[in-house]
Structure 1
């Protein structure tokens, strides 16, 4: 039985105040892994002592124990959300021509999507993102699952350009929470967010925005969970007939963003020789 099921089981026997706490926890399960006792007290408008008694009612001796149960719940939801995110098309035969036909169809789809992306590049957003990166003392890149691929790629590009870039694996809840607490003026947060969206990312983005730092989200849609908390968006369509996410367009976007940074920070006389080093 997970923590939410346990709360549901005890709910009929809770006091009015305890039910209000239970309602908040049930409505915001992903938030509890990152919230402090004082913050939860403020959000639920009950005293810290009442919250601690509620924890004991659930069988948790401390608030940390309650957070650990919610962390376990969140991790389970992450595993469910990260399960098989693609399908394998049925082949009419096992012969090479059939495989080639499917591959050609996939290639044509990617080429069409890439052509549309290039013809409608959001230059204003790319330049604004470049300016924000140049102003930053520390750049925290948050990514999960397949998003770690472009996350690592961006980190390597930024390190080449001597920016202080750190990649945070969102599945490491403890490190994520620690980083959110340490955000300060001069920091920039970059989220990678593609389907299936990482379960707690909306709440994590909310916490980052509450720290008052600028947020750049690289995602497939302005309706993605982190988008509403972001100062800047770079939209990269990723859907294909085979996979939820093709990284063709996100990687292209990052190359364009890195090129913009090079143009901004390298003198004209040095640009070509520096661009040549990027291939390494």
Structure 2
């Protein structure tokens, strides 16, 4: 039995105030892994003592114990959301012409999607994103699962350009929580979010936003969970008939963004010599 099931089982025995707390936990399960006792007290308009007694009611001796149970719940939801990320087409083995036809069709779809992307590049947003990166003292890239591929790619590009950049693996809940707590003025958060969306990503974006730092989200849709808390969105369509996410367009977007940073950062007289070093 997970923590939400346990709360729901005990719900009829709770006091009115405890039900208010329970309602908040049930409605915001992904948030509890990252929240402090003082913050939960403010959100539920309950004293810290009342919250500690509520924890004991659930069988947790401390608030940390409650957070650990919610962390376990979050990890379970992450595993569920991270299951199979590809579709297996119906195809009889050994039929080479059919395989070739399917591969050519996939290539055609990639070319079509890329052409549409290039023809409608969000230049204003790319320029604004470049400005945010250049003005930042520290850059924190948050990514998970398939999103770590473009996340690592962007990190390497920014390191070449001598930016102070750190990649945070969102599956490490403790490191994610520590990083969110230490965000300060001059920092920039870059979130990667592609289907299937990482379960707590909306709450992580919300927490980063509450710290006051700017947020750049690179995602497949303006309806993705992190989008509403972001200052800038770079939209990269990723869906194909074979995979939930093709990285063709996200990687292209990052190359364009990195190119913009080179143009902005290097004097014209040194620009070509510097560009020649990027392949290394």
Give TM-score scaled by structure 1 length. 0.99
Structure 1 CA distance for aligned equivalents of residues 12 and 174 of structure 2: 33
Pairing 1:100-139 to 2, within 5 Å after superposition: 100-139=100-139
Tell me, what secondary structure is at the counterpart of 2:140? Answer: strand
Partner of 1:30: 30
Partner of 2:145: 145
Query: How far did 1:94 drift?
Result: 2.0
Q: 1:5-43 deviations in whole A, cap 9, x for unaligned?
A: 000110111110111111000000000000000000000
Query: How far did 1:275 drift?
Result: 1.2
Partner of 1:174: 174
Unaligned stretches of 5+ in structure 2? none
RMSD, matched Cα: 0.7
Query: How far did 1:92 drift?
Result: 4.1
Tell me, what secondary structure is at the counterpart of 2:233? Answer: strand
Partner of 1:253: 253
Partner of 1:13: 13
Structure 2 CA distance for aligned equivalents of residues 278 and 177 of structure 1: 34
Structure 1 CA distance for aligned equivalents of residues 93 and 105 of structure 2: 16
Structure 1 CA distance for aligned equivalents of residues 195 and 273 of structure 2: 38
Q: 1:19-76 deviations in whole A, cap 9, x for unaligned?
A: 1111000000000000000000000011110000000000000000000000000000
Give TM-score scaled by structure 2 length. 0.99
Partner of 1:58: 58
Count residues in correspondence: 280
Q: Would you say 1:85 and 2:85 are equivalent positions?
A: yes
Structure 2 CA distance for aligned equivalents of residues 47 and 265 of structure 1: 51
Partner of 2:238: 238
Structure 1 CA distance for aligned equivalents of residues 252 and 276 of structure 2: 17
Structure 1 CA distance for aligned equivalents of residues 115 and 55 of structure 2: 55
Structure 2 CA distance for aligned equivalents of residues 68 and 214 of structure 1: 29
Tell me, what secondary structure is at the counterpart of 2:217? Answer: strand
Partner of 1:209: 209
Query: How far did 1:101 drift?
Result: 0.7
Tell me, what secondary structure is at the counterpart of 2:168? Answer: strand
Query: How far did 1:247 drift?
Result: 0.2
Query: How far did 1:93 drift?
Result: 4.9
Q: Would you say 1:49 and 2:49 are equivalent positions?
A: yes
Structure 2 CA distance for aligned equivalents of residues 276 and 142 of structure 1: 29
| Deviating 4+ runs (over 6 angstroms) | none
Structure 2 CA distance for aligned equivalents of residues 85 and 258 of structure 1: 28
Partner of 1:163: 163
Partner of 2:96: 96
